[in-house]
Amino acid sequence: MGYDDVIKYLGDFGRYQKQIYFLLCLPAISCAFHKLAGVFLLARPDFRCVLPFENDSENQTRFENFNKTLWSLAYPYDQITDTYQVCEYYDVDYNDGYLNGNSIATPVSNETKSCEHFVYDQSVYKSSAVTEWNMVCSRQLLSATSDSLFMVGVLLGSIVFGQLSDRYGRKPIFFASLVIQVVFGVLAGVAPEYFTYTISRMIVGATTSGVFLVAYVIAMEMVGSSYRLFAGVACQMFFSVGFMLTAGFAYFIRDWRWLQIALTLPGLLFMCYHWIIPESARWLLSKGRKDEAIVVIEKAAQVNNVTIPQEVYENLIDESAEKKNDSEANKSEKAAAASVFDLLRYPNLRRKTLIIFFDWFVNSGVYYGLSWNTNNLGGNVLLNFMISGAVEIPAYILLLLTLNRWGRRTILCGCMLVAGVALLLTIIVPASLNWLIILFAMIGKLAITASYGTIYIFSAEQFPTVVRNVGLGAASMVARIGGILAPYLNLLGQIWRPLPLIICGALAFLGGLLSLMLPETLNKPMPETIEDGERFGKRRNANDLSETGEELTSMVAGGQQANGKAK
């Protein structure tokens, strides 16, 4: 008898599970703070060169006190982008005669010099890491690289903390991640230079996996199967709440250092969880620690006001001991069976796997690309960011209402196609209708959020049981690559504002079309073996239907033998 049998007595989502689940969802808010903070920490406001004649007085180097005539006298004009090229200025003598006597506002020379000092518009951001370390013009890649390395940290954290939590337990890794997150979050806020800031942020990115994903696992392992869809989606809503609250912090705190510290300190509140949150009983049983598991189960039964028969505990103990004895014997066999190469060896399984990997890459890249692109949309950047987080709530509600009715493939394809069309429509919107560009961008964000939530479930149901964890792990790594590239994609918005939206739209539309080739999994038995995975969703002609399946069995057996030799 396993923990799922205990759930029958405790209840799928009893009072105790609800209390712990709610507490474990709250850290998702602080993780959203860190993942989305880069929009404001690395904000790039409007800027221009500090011209030679402005060096004498700081009062003369205010961005807003620069009239239109001076712009045309000092900076080259680019007719393609309809902007002044503020990374260089005309190399002329900026005397009073030149500045005041030329009513035509035409420079006397086309020679230019690169800027060394800059002045920034402080109407929205008092300061940011970009303005403090002048990460503009030839140094603009530094800001994108910082955000990209943050996502590298998220990737590394999902690998490291995931393995540590499986080995040492969910609870100790959750609190270790939390402590590291607070320490390096504060360090990022007081960093004296770019390198310290970026490395600190990368470590914080790694801890978001240790905090959010481990808390998510604890919560999901204590919920019954009938509530797992609701619990998984509702947890993501807390992340969306943190998304919106980040804009609130940025509204009241305009200095980037204090903003970084303010977004980090709420993590201290979760330290008290040490006396409240239990270790996962499911994990304890998997490790043969039956006495500790029973303590957790009995406390849950007491809060839920239910009684668990003694024979359930006895059977649970016997099973855990048996699992502990058998684990070493089966370890090598399971390791040999679980290989990502098994997903790529056979034609139908390979086709499905590559499409799933592409969908993960697109969903992650487009999601973070749109989330971090709000500064490029024009209008009120804080309002844009707030709306971008708010549209995620109806996206998740859509999943709760439709995912078990309309099917996984229908929702995934439909949402990706809607996102693609909405974002591609920004090509035809004139610049004067900026509100319409924002509207299409938000429709795209809503749709890609829904598809991102679907791909988790859809992928788990596509991969065979023997390689399911390996497949999901590989898909998650591919998704992180999309997140790592997203900051560089948004950098293209400085060349042409709609360009990031167009690229995201094209990728989402292509992903939606390719997903039509995947089989529906709703109410279908999940494939157990590699052979099942190869057969599932495979289109057969008349000749194929006459096959006995012996060839496929032989092919799979031969492939596994070759795989064993390769290892």
pLDDT in tens, 419-445: 999 999 998 888 788 889 899 999 999
Average pLDDT over residues 268-289: 87
The pLDDT value recorded for residue 255 is: 94
What pLDDT, on the 0 to 100 scale, is given for residue 471? 80
Please state, in angstroms and as integers, the Cα–Cα distance from residue 525 to each residue in 169, 232, 343, 399, 548, following that order: 31, 21, 18, 21, 21
**What is the overall mean pLDDT for the chain?**
83
Helices (H), 191-227: 194-208, 214-221
Helix (H) or strand (E) holding 84: strand 83-84
497 close to 376: Cβ distance less than 8 angstroms? yes
| C-alpha distances out from residue 132 to 42, 127, 251, 312, Å | 10, 7, 19, 63
SS3 3: helix
Tokens of 104: 């035509």
SS (H, E, C) 467-488: HHHHHHHHHHHHHHHHHHHHHH
3-state secondary structure 131-144: HHCCCCHHHCHHHH
Q: Which pLDDT score, from 0 to 100, does residue 241 have? A: 95
Two tokens at 283?
């994990």
What 3-state DSSP class applies to 16? Answer: helix
pLDDT over 80 (residue 67)? no
pTM for the full predicted model:
0.83
Please compute the mean of the pLDDT values over residues 365-388 and round it to a whole number: 88
Question: Which range among 166-175, 200-209, 285-294, 308-317 shows the weakest confidence by mean pLDDT?
Answer: 308-317
Residue that is written with structure tokens 């970084």 in the block: 260
DSSP 342-378: HHHHSHHHHHHHHHHHHHHHHHHHHHHHHHTTGGGS-
Residue 46 pLDDT exceeds 60: yes
The four Cα atoms 341, 347, 351, 352 give a dihedral, to 10 degrees, of -80
User: H helices of 226-375, where?
Assistant: 228-252, 256-264, 281-286, 290-304, 310-337, 340-345, 347-371
Backbone angles phi, psi at 128, to 5 degrees: -145, 170
Mean pLDDT in residue range 258-263: 96
Q: For the chain, how many residues are written? A: 567
338 by Cβ neighbours in 10 Å (0-12 / 13-18 / 19+) ranks as middle
Q: What is the mean pLDDT of residues 353-359?
A: 93
Q: How far apart are CA 256 and CA 185, in angstroms?
A: 12
Taking a C-beta distance cutoff of 8 angstroms, is the pair 157, 208 a contact?
Answer: yes
Tokens of 133: 């370390």
Residue 174 in tokens: 């959750």
The share of the chain scoring above pLDDT 90, in percent, equals: 36
Q: What is the pLDDT of residue 267?
A: 92
Cα 352 to chain center, whole Å? 23
pLDDT value at position 4?
72
- As given in the structure block, the two tokens for residue 43 are 């904000």
Q: Is the pLDDT of residue 557 over 50?
A: no
- Residue 425 is given by DSSP the state G
Residue 213 pLDDT: 80
Apex 31 CA angle, 30 and 32, nearest 5: 90
Q: Which two tokens stand for residue 274?
A: 């040490």
Instruction: List, in order, residues 6 or more apart from 337 with CB less than 8 Å away.
Output: 466, 467, 560
Are the C-beta atoms of residues 138 and 87 closer than 8 Å to each other? yes
CB 301 within 8 Å of CB 528: no
Contact 512, 355 (CB under 8 A): no
CA–CA distance, 516 with 408 (Å, rounded to integer): 11
Q: Which two tokens stand for residue 302?
A: 């007491």
Whether 53 has a pLDDT exceeding 90, the answer reads no
